[in-house]
Amino acid sequence: MSAYDKILKLLPYKRPFLFVDEIISINEEGASGNYTIRKDEPFLEGHFPGNPVVPGVILTEIMCQIGLVTLAMFLMDLDEDSKVLPAFTSANVDFLSKVIPEDKLIVESKKVYFRFGKLKCTVTCKKEDGTVVAKGELAGMVVKSEA
């Protein structure tokens, strides 16, 4: 099993709240991955009916799952039987462009620091064509869970 597959298997999310299709790269300094917005996402149904737009809170979650949680799990070097709970602690995100169904988003993070179990990253979310849709700083931690 590749390191990418191991991390995907460990993620404590399931559809419809799993926002990671692929981990593209991950190392001690950062992570990147992608997620494509599906036409049938539950959050789109009531968010501007007839003209669906992905809410900023969902964009932030996508950035957290790909850019923060996967990197924290990599840095913690968890085994494949680990159970974890991510704890999101802070965000400062600017939203720069709208995201609609079928947009493929590419998230890239760069580690600012990882100490005492807390991770802080700068994270950028772009469309496939390079348009930056959101960027900012995110922080959180991943703790091992008994359940």
Residues marked as catalytic: 47
Q: Of the candidates 69, 51, 52, which has an alpha carbon nearest to the alpha carbon of residue 60?
A: 69
Q: Which residues contact 135 (CB under 8 A, 6 or more apart)?
A: 93, 94, 96, 122, 123, 124, 125
Structure tokens at 113: 């620091």
